Amino acid sequence: MIRKKRERTRFLILHFWFVVIGILFFGLHLSYSQNVEDLTQNNVIVRLRFSGPIGPISARYIISGIEQANNLKAQFLVLEMDTPGGLDESMRDIIKAILNSSIPVVTYVYPSGARAASAGVFIMFASHIAAMAPGTNIGAAHPVSIGGNALDTVMKDKVTNDAAAYIKSLAHRRNRNEEWAEKAVRKSVSVTETEALTLGVIDLVAGSLEELLQKLDKREVKIDDHQLILQTASVKVKNYDMSPTQRFLYLLTNPNIAYILLMLGIYGLFFELQNPGAIFPGVIGGISLILAFYSLQMLPVNYAGLALIILGIIMFILEVKIMSHGLLTIGGIASLFFGSLLLFESPLPFFRPSIVLLGLVAVVTALFFALIVSLGIRAHLRKPTTGKEGLVGETGITQDVLSPYGMVLVSGELWSAESIVGEIKKNENVKVLEVKGMVLKVKKV
């Protein structure tokens, strides 16, 4: 009877929680639906803010923002951008999302001092409306090989012609200056915001988002085959920023962070192998190495540089095991430094780690392993302090006459001894010169 009551109680509790969870989900659904409806009714726009090189993570953020704005049925989307360029594949993914958007996309080079270079130029030309803030510039869209490998003439012409045709098609679609767009690709020309407005590269110049919205009011925008008239008098701005996960992943694409993680991973595993069971260095090293591999797949990595870094670490490990009088350490430092220089070989500065960071890592590594080598040499040269070898050089007192054999007291222990300089009387001080088997070779002090 008691068992049945317990089962019935559990059954009721379980159903109670199912009902509670169902109500919560239903409430969240209503809240989200109401939120979307309110945003739509209140004439909302979505604002994205991005600064940095174009890559897989930044492309994912911008594309998800465009999808979010379309789902909310926002009036239009504003992308505030400051970029030196980036990866061609990521740029094309962003452009596809813009071209297939059912709402207008306004790309705004902001704030003052920002730029839209390389891949940023293509994104500007793909946008329904292109705007710039005072003190900004646009241009320099000539394609380069991010891996640092020089392209042959035929391949270089193919890449350049492809990029030129692509940007001309975008300029034609948005009724912008096709001639200048081609020059930006073939001759890397760059202009200020006022020159861009005069040349028909952009649509307007605005010093702030508020001014931009004022200038967009009553403006006609063509979406596919129909015209939209923007109404920005009482518009509400909804910011769509990077999530913490996206920010973290974007941080990992920084070559400086990737290099630091790689070195932490290598050193962590090195210390774990040198001191098995320490655990902490191994855990930190393993996590850092996995994060470094994720970062490296997002960056143009030269595997010759990675091989040189690994070779340098191997030399450091061998120096600890083998006495090379510093030669392996010197070779390891040189291998580590040159490997670091080659690791992210790219003509684009935002795909290379800081030379200051590389020099700092090389110096710290050199000092650390120089310390280890010096301690190893001192350990080898240090006089033994335990065992039979530790008795050499110690003094003792004879317990009887050594003629030449007898007993001596050394370090509180009685030993058989042999005098090598003639007879030694009892209670004389002697010094141990050698240990042969269980017999000490001594002489009178």
- CATH tag, 42-245: 3.90.226.10
pLDDT value at 19 more than 80: no
Bridge partner residues of 262 (DSSP): none
Give the pLDDT of residue 11. 44
The model's confidence at residue 387, banded by pLDDT at 50, 70 and 90, is low
Which range (9-13, 174-178, 312-316) has the least confidence? 9-13
Bridge partner residues of 395 (DSSP): 431
Q: 76 with 103: CB under 8 angstroms?
A: yes
Give the residue from 243, 248, 253 showing the smallest Cα distance to 86. 253
Q: Regarding beta strands 220-223 and 226-229, do their DSSP bridges make them parallel or antiparallel, or are they unpaired?
A: antiparallel
Give the pLDDT of residue 373. 62
pLDDT value at 178 more than 90: yes
The helix/strand/coil state of 124 is helix
Q: Where are the domains of the chain?
A: 1-32, 42-245, 254-381, 389-444
Active site residues: 118, 158
- Directed axis angle between helix 178-186 and helix 119-126, to 10°? 160
- CATH tag, 389-444: 2.40.50.140
The amino acid sitting at 19 is V
Higher-confidence residue of 249 and 67: namely 67
Max avg pLDDT among 8-17, 92-101, 259-268, 432-441:
92-101
CA angle (338 as vertex; 333, 339 as ends), nearest 5: 95
The helix/strand/coil state of 326 is coil
Give the pLDDT of residue 386. 53
Which backbone phi and psi does 132 adopt, to 5 degrees?
-140, 150
Report, in angstroms and rounded to the nearest whole number, the Rg of the chain calculated over CA atoms: 37
Greatest CA separation for the chain: 121
pLDDT value at 102 more than 70: yes
Give the pLDDT of residue 151. 56
The DSSP symbol for 166 reads H
The helix/strand/coil state of 292 is helix
The model's confidence at residue 12, banded by pLDDT at 50, 70 and 90, is very low
pTM listed for this prediction: 0.69
Give the pLDDT of residue 219. 93
